[in-house]
Structure 1
């Protein structure tokens, strides 16, 4: 009987111990379920970019990062010597990245699958690889200022900069997915535990208005022009004036988006949308068209081009100081007469001239879908002096961007419609196709 009682009390004690332990775990010191529920991010594919004929301009490719665990490397100098030619690096460069005080060091980014295979064949210890998606630009630098590039932000995330990579970064990036699963203390999945997966949503593909064949022709011609005139840089924009689709946009010098870090930041700027300049004589047709439309002049009106014109303390003359006497409005434009344009400005009157410049929306962004556009600047009417009205007729004393000038000229051709220029004509996702 004594043995039975002893066994009974032993079971009671064990039961009480279990109850007390459960009470301690669940009430007094509960285990956070997050200690066992692990979350892993599934990164989406970044959207691709095509020209108007579906020629790929930007795609994705898999690259690898080589890292080392210094404590596991057996003979570091033999290791450096073996892997240097595979990586295309100097042994000293590898050694500089190798830090014995750390558990993990990054050696090189952007390795190809072939390089990884060669490294694995060496059977060296202490090396590992991370896989990452990188951008590939099949046309190289051909459309660099349109496309921009993908770099890393301060948190180490991939982010688009400049061009459409920057402007459409949110559309191109997509949405990450998640895997949530219960793990044991060894970080292994628990067979009967929670398993949840949210699939990533890949970024949208973009179809551009750009024609790659036109791009190649324009780039060749622009390069020849820059070389011929020993210019520092140049820019060409080709647009359909009826729709303001940009068919070509080339600025030189350019850069390779895949190795953007080897280029100065100044080169990333798209001169077509960010460079400010005085338009000069290219501004004259815009003023002439407005004067005709507002009936300030008629095409056959005669102006007596007899000499220079004095505005206050300033003297305005023709570019070669040559004068033809009586000429009509067409001839003023043909010979690019500054004094003739001052006459047209006087016929318009200051208010009409100022309103004309504003109607072309100079001093405002065109809202083209490229990152980095600037607005230019037009002084308020109250701050204009007589000389400002005079010089504005031939494009001096105000600053514009090339894309603003393209939009303004297109309005003359298309019947007076000031339209928004654009680069992207379609956004395509797995679910829908959106026409811009």
Structure 2
């Protein structure tokens, strides 16, 4: 072969290889690019494509209702409207009609009552990569007239992409009724506090979606492919709350705040057999329809929303004595024949600790130290128990840890560790100081005495239900987390209930007595721990009462907690018992609980005690007005103008509605004798006012409120000096 011909073939071959390499390289680059586009960037380009040729509108589900145990509506969702934006369509039509987002923002803001800059921010919103988003929510929960104005504005400006759809707005028909338990939702309709938050996953439902195909001008295609997913509405939550019992608690709590000028009042009513909360009132409350009070700070609003029955703790005072009593009985460290001598104080670890009654209770039985709420007697029980056994029962009753109630924000309380308890700590703990607990913790423990010794988790949810299109009810879930366990022997609880019944019949809780219903309970008064430093806050107390009825087989338990009542009258036996009596009576009538007393006896026991005022020496008209103001009736025996005598005598304690017999004459001459009334539990000012009005003089010994008086219930001459012993009564 010629040498030139050989060179030409080699050159052609090289050129062919070169061309082939270039083609291969181009093919490789093309495949690489396609792989990058389809695999690496495929998801992003798909999203961009979908945004270009689809319209995506979210459809909000209807939030489930919150109902009381009889399915009365406590929280519902009303039908309103929302403004959604298909921003692809809106951008195209604003450009087509020579408009701008900045130009239409003020108009939309004016109709919707929004700030123009906020509307513009939504209209021009971008994603994380800085690219315009395809859809947004402009405003939710607008009324029909506003929605109509938006539709008219869009039509008049030939704007597409402003979509009006149905929406729901949370509404609480009873305003602040049960507010701290129900809670409320945020601006997006999600639970923020209370039941709304705890059961949000059941109440909220699942949003729907309407996805439709559009052309390049964002106009719907005649052959469009639509994807519509129907929203799944939320489920209804049925509470254990009974609307009527809640009403009784709310009414009494409101009145107690007013009567006692208190900072706050909490009342809980429960079924001790299954842990169901039938009523839980916190006053002052708030209106969940308008939860943000603009006159308050952020912290103040947060405080108003807080469920104090669950979230706040306090030193229980003497209501804690039922725990100490149970422990001593269960450990067989006390019998009915034991005697406790109270001289007004006792020395523990070199420190003198006073009983609330500094003059002493004298010799008492075990039942007596319960009835008299004797601190000295309970310190002796604490000594017998020691720190290990005392704390054993504190923990058995579930104190110092969360109960597991189905409400957010529950506090644990503070229990002094056993290993760090001194002899002094045991003494103070035994009568209700040193440790802290919440209202719901205490009533859960108290329920164990009422139900025969079982600790049961308190709860507000009864069941989750749903109604189908034919209005057929389906129970999806019933409350089951009872965690029931026996902690006390049944015979011990039976005996203790009988002892606590005597507290109401003739002890410190007698102002809660209602004939024939056999209420058992315990009062308590405790100083508040200072929020600014160690020790107790001066002139600040918590007054409490815990009760159950009927004592032999309790159907209802009740806790009254009055925070910072008027320091002139703060004793639990004086003020908390009165509130409990009102609530118990309402509940007994509502539940038709039977009494073994006659209606006349019941009616009499419900009447308030009135001290007969002095009206002798007054004219008939004046006397008549004074007696009427005190809810007393009168009967005149003669036709004289001036009251010369009366039966019963001034100072005598009678029930309201009692008839007072007045004797009249023309001369102003009358007996100089009066009855010395019982003024125990009153402030010095109130006691002075009562005794001075009868013509008696007063001498005080000590500080605090009246714990003892030198004369009581006997007839004395006017001008007699009555000695009143005062004590700081934290029983």
- TM-score in terms of structure 2 length: 0.49
Counterparts in 2 of 1:234 and 1:350: CA distance versus 1, 3 Å: same
Q: 3-state DSSP class of the match of 1:135?
A: strand
Out of 219, 234, 237, the position equivalent to 1:203 is 234
Q: Which secondary structure does the structure 1 equivalent of 2:291 belong to?
A: helix
Report the Cα distance in structure 1 between the residues aligned to 2:286 and 2:309, rounded to whole angstroms: 15
Name which of structure 1's ranges 62-71 and 230-239 shifts more when overlaid on structure 2.
62-71
Quote the residue 2:179 is aligned against.
144
| In 2, Cα distance between equivalents of 1:167 and 1:251 | 19
Mapped pair 1:433 → 2:476: yes
Q: Secondary structure at the match of 2:191?
A: strand
Q: From the superposition, tell whether residues 226 and 111 of structure 1 become closer, same or farther in structure 2 (CA, over 3 Å).
A: same
Displacement of 1:98 in angstroms is 6.0
Q: Aligned Cα RMSD in Å? A: 3.4
2:141 is aligned with 1:134:
no
323, 326, 329: which is aligned to 1:289? 326
1:135-183 CA-to-partner distances (Å, cap 9, x unmatched) read: 011111101011011004xxxx432122111111111112233444444
* Other structure's SS at 2:364 match: strand
Distance (Å, rounded) in 2 between the aligned partners of 1:334 and 1:52:
37
Q: Identify which of 170, 173, 176 aligns with 2:207.
A: 176
Residues 73, 125 of structure 1: 8 Å contact kept: no
Alignment match, 2:346: 309
Larger Rg, first or second structure (1 or 2)? 2
Secondary structure, counterpart of 1:234 in structure 2: strand
The CA deviation at 1:278 is 0.3
5+ residue gaps in structure 2? 1-29, 86-100, 125-136, 469-473, 480-731
Per the alignment, do residues 231 and 391 of structure 1 end up closer, same or farther by CA in structure 2, a change over 3 Å counting?
same
Does the 8 Å contact 2:169/2:189 carry over to 1?
Answer: no
Greater Cα offset, 97-106 or 31-40: 97-106
Higher relative contact order (CA 8 A, sep 6+): 1
1:211-242 CA-to-partner distances (Å, cap 9, x unmatched) read 11111221111111111111111110000111
Give the aligned partner of residue 241 of structure 1: 272
For residues 233-260 of structure 1, what are the alpha-carbon distances to aligned partners after superposition, in whole Å with 9 as ceiling and x for unaligned? Answer: 1110000111111000010111111211
Residue 196 of structure 2: SS of its match in structure 1? helix
Q: Can you list the C-alpha shifts for 1:309-336, whole angstroms capped at 9, x where unaligned?
A: 1122432111130213210011101111
Instruction: List aligned pairs for 1:305-344, cutoff 5 A.
Output: 305-344=342-381
Corresponding residue for 1:414?
A: 451
Inter-CA distance 70–365: structure 2 relative to 1 (3 Å threshold): same
Distance across 2 between alignment mates of 1:45 and 1:119:
23
Residue of structure 1 equivalent to 2:401: 364
Query: How far apart are 1:388 and its partner, in Å?
Result: 1.2
Q: Secondary structure at the match of 1:257?
A: coil
Q: Distance between the aligned counterparts of 2:223 and 2:120, measured in 1? A: 40
Partner of 1:6: none
In 2, the alpha carbon distance for the partners of 1:284 and 1:273 equals: 21
Which residue of structure 2 aligns with residue 220 of structure 1?
251
Gap change, CA 1:108 and 1:42, over 3 Å in 2: closer
Conservation of the 8 A alpha-carbon contact between 2:122 and 2:138: no
Q: CA deviation at 1:113?
A: 2.3
Quick one: distance in 2 between partners of 1:100 and 1:238? 48
1:254-293 maps to which residues of 2 (within 5 A)?
A: 254-262=285-293, 264-293=301-330
TM-score of the aligned structures, taking structure 1 as reference length: 0.80
- Pairs within 5 Å for 1:398-413: 398-413=435-450
Q: What are the superposed Cα offsets for residues 368-391 of structure 1, whole Å, 9 maximum, x if unpaired?
A: 111111111213211212111111
- Distance in 1 (CA, whole Å) between partners of 2:142 and 2:182 is 23
Aligned counterpart for 1:71 among listed residues 103, 107, 114: 103
The number of residues matched between the two structures is: 396
Q: Is the 8 A contact 1:182 1:189 kept in 2?
A: yes
CA offset digits 1:23-49 (Å, max 9, x no partner) = 99x948668443137454333221111
Query: Cα 1:395–1:123, aligned 2, differ >3 Å: closer, same or farther?
Result: same
Q: Distance in 2 between matches of 1:425 and 1:416?
A: 23
Cα deviation, residue 403, structure 1: 0.1
Contact 1:244 1:421 in 2 (8 A): yes
Q: Residue 63 of structure 1 contacts residue 134 of structure 1 at CA under 8 Å; is this kept in 2?
A: yes
Contact persistence 1:296–1:347 (CA under 8 A): yes
Per-residue Cα deviation, 1:47-80 (whole angstroms, up to 9, x for no partner): 1111011111111113346899661489x7xx96
Name the SS for the 1:373 alignment partner. Answer: coil
Of 310-319 and 216-225, deviating more is: 310-319
CA contact (8 A) 1:67 1:104 kept: no
Contact 2:282 2:307 in 1 (8 A): yes
CA drift at 1:296? 1.2
Distance 2:320 2:34 in 1: 80
Relative to structure 1, the CA distance from residue 99 to residue 349 in structure 2 (aligned partners, 3 Å threshold; closer, same or farther) is closer
Q: Which structure 1 segments of 5+ residues have no match? A: 1-22
SS of the residue corresponding to residue 275 of structure 2 reads coil
Shift of 1:102: 6.0
Deviates more, 1:161-170 or 1:178-187: 178-187
The 3-state SS of whatever aligns with 1:434 is: strand
